[in-house]
Amino acid sequence: MPLFEYVCRGCSRKFEALLFGKERAACPGCGGRDLERLLSTFAVSGEGSSEGSGAASPAGGCGTCGDPRGPGSCAVN
């Protein structure tokens, strides 16, 4: 069940898609399937993580919005 980030080449919308089996992603905005898969990082929480410390994520900024707290920190849909 990989979670991928995409940008639609038709309407330029960025989104994430959770895919099962051989499913193909479609843009939730326009329904297009001409998509570019983006390099995606994931957030880890738990013992030893920087969650709640206000520190920047060691993985870098959010790939969707650039939030310096890291992936999963923002409210971008």
User: What average pLDDT score do residues 24-44 get?
Assistant: 85
Please work out, in degrees rounded to the nearest 5, the angle formed at the alpha carbon of residue 76 by the alpha carbons of 47 and 58: 35
Confidence of residue 36 (pLDDT cuts 50, 70, 90): very high
Q: What is the pLDDT of residues 2-11, one digit of tens each?
A: 678 999 999 9
DSSP string covering 12-74? --EEEEE--TT-----TTT----EEEEP------STT--TTTTPPPTT-S-TTT--TT-TT-S
- Is pLDDT above 70 for 75? no
* Strands laid side by side in the 3-8 sheet: 14-18, 3-8, 35-38
Q: What is the pLDDT of residues 49-69, one digit of tens each?
A: 454 555 544 555 666 676 777
